[in-house]
Structure 1
């Protein structure tokens, strides 16, 4: 059995997604005024997206605890991650991030969230192949 088809793979990715979402949310909420200056992004956007990440992280953690993991829930997370990536890319290309640090922040978020979406999707596909085998 390969790693992706392991029954532990998808829950582990979901826990990683929940932890990274929570950490990013705490950072954006707790340090929004400072981050706004450094990143050149609106303070309100940083705070609001930080609070949204709390709900997202709670949902990801709830899914990670499920046995079996909810396929529909993971699809919803993957879609939410893709929307997040699109939002980061839009902010990057519209010049909303006025500093090079802000541009780097958006790029790192887009790549990391995109990677999590890909891993979650791969985990779903691996779980499906295992169930059918």
Structure 2
């Protein structure tokens, strides 16, 4: 398995991702009812999205506390974030929901934030050193 020595930049980007997931997850999970009326999305959809984000936040927090990580794990984080941004846009253009103007702005803002964090993670990955296979501790 290909491992990396996580750069400080990558760990900070993962920490920002964890914090954003936790904050957004808590907001959506705990305030889905009131937000539903404001954003124009069903309560169950908002609560479900929030509940999905909470374990992601925990995993990202664990990742950012590690000095070494499997390269594949970081690629998976980046891939999931790209999928999240694409799904956010799909939600708006597919007509599955009828969000309010504020709902559209919320979806676009969080998608932009995820895109920025993802780019920071890509930069952080590039700044992380590969660990030669022979140097892995048992």
TM-score, normalised to structure 2's length? 0.84
Correspondences of 1:42-81 after superposition (within 5 Å)? 42-81=42-81
CA contact (8 A) 2:21 2:53 kept: yes
Provide the residue aligned with 2:122 in structure 1: 121
- After superposition, the Cα gap between the structure-2 partners of 1:97 and 1:125, relative to the gap in structure 1 and judged at 3 Å, is farther
- After superposition, the Cα gap between the structure-2 partners of 1:97 and 1:57, relative to the gap in structure 1 and judged at 3 Å, is farther
Unmatched 5+ stretches in structure 1 = 1-5
**Structure 1 residue 122: Cα displacement:** 1.2
The number of residues matched between the two structures is: 126
Q: Which protein has the bigger strand share?
A: 2
Provide the residue aligned with 2:102 in structure 1: 101
Provide the residue aligned with 1:3 in structure 2: none
Secondary structure of 1:69's counterpart equals strand
CA contact (8 A) 2:82 2:115 kept: yes
- CA-based RMSD of the aligned residues comes to 1.8
Residue range with higher mean Cα deviation, 10-19 or 95-104:
95-104
Unmatched 5+ stretches in structure 2 = 1-5, 133-138
Deviations 1:93-114 (A, max 9, x none): 1242420000000000110011
**Structure 1 residue 70: Cα displacement:** 3.0
Determine which structure has greater relative contact order: mean sequence separation of CA pairs < 8 Å that are 6+ residues apart, divided by chain length: 2
CA contact (8 A) 1:63 1:70 kept: no
